[in-house]
Every structure is written in C-alpha cells, then in structure tokens.
Amino acid sequence: MGDSNSSLSPIFQVTSPYGNNLHHNENVTHGQFAFTTSEAGNYLACFWIGRKHQEDVGLTIGLDWKIGIAAKDWESVAKKEKLQGMELELMKLEGAVQAIHDNLKYLKNREEEMREVSEKTNARVAWFSLMSLGVCIVVSVLQLWHLRRYFERKKLI
C-alpha cells in the first residue's frame, strides 16, 4: 500500500469461499501474507479505508497475487537447505514439474467425472426416448381400436 496518511486507516482482509476469515489486518501500510488453501473455490481479498476525517485523500494499492509454485519463497528455501545457483534452479524446475503433474492428475479426475455424468445422461435420454416411443405406440393402438369400435357402432364399417 502506498501513501501513508494519519487520517487513513487501511484495512486488509482475505476470506475463503465458505466465509472463513483467513487474514485480517488494520492500519496496514505494507506487508506480505501467505496461506495454503484447504477449501476449493474463489477466495476474496478486500481492501477498504476507514477514514477518521472527511477529506479527499488518495491511496495507492499495489498487489502481487501469486498462486501455486510461483508463490513459494525460494530465497528462504535456498538459505534453509544451503543451495546455490544450479541446485536452486533444479529445485524450482522440480517444483514446476510437480505442479504440472498435480494439475494433470486433477484434470484427469475431472475428465473421468464428466465422462461418467455424460454416460449417465446418455443412458437416461435413451430410456426416455424408448418410453416416449412406447407411449406413442400404445396411444396409436388405442386410437385405432376406439375409432374402429366407433365406426362399427355407427355401421359405417
């Protein structure tokens, strides 16, 4: 967050898809926050200003939202594991490959679920079509029977 003014009270909050408050911070002028998701869905980041006085003041917000492997703090990993140059790059590439692999597994599972839904829907449509055809045939036979009886009673046949 940019301009720091005494009349402003900037507030930052991150909320999960089910309404759980993941982060809430008041009087924020700058900072960093990271979290690991446990719920699937859209996460909401809210920024607002609580004004202490009625005056027109500008506020600039800079946001760098990273997800997945891009959000990992590689400098702390390098310091912790005492990695340098090529080792760190290989670890980054390994993380990227793992993220791609996990994403492909997720997409494969979703494709299987969608295929099952599609097959069930096709089976239901086929049964509905057969039932509709059966009802049409039964109604046609009943109409022919009724018309035949009607014309026989009127002695037209």
46 closest CA partner among 10, 13, 8, 9: 13
User: Which residue ranges make up each domain of the chain?
Assistant: 8-65, 79-153
Show pLDDT as tens, one digit a residue, over the chain (157 residues).
Answer: 444 444 567 778 888 888 888 878 887 777 777 777 777 788 888 877 766 655 666 667 777 777 766 666 667 766 666 667 777 778 778 888 988 999 999 999 999 999 999 999 999 999 999 999 999 999 999 999 999 999 999 888 7
* End-to-end Cα spacing for the chain: 94
Residue with tokens 């700058």: 30
- Angle CA 37–83–80, to nearest 5: 55
pTM of the entire structure?
A: 0.48
Strands 21-26 and 44-51: unpaired
How many C-beta neighbours within 10 Å does residue 7 have? 12
Instruction: Indicate the SS3 state at residue 22.
Output: strand
Q: Alpha-carbon distance 131 to 93, whole Å?
A: 57
What percent of the chain is helix, strand and coil (3-state, nearest 5)?
Answer: 50, 15, 35
148: Cβ contacts below 8 Å, ≥ 6 apart:
157
Do residues 5 and 65 touch, judged by C-beta distance below 8 A? no
List strand residue ranges (DSSP E) for 5-121, in order.
Answer: 8-15, 21-26, 44-51
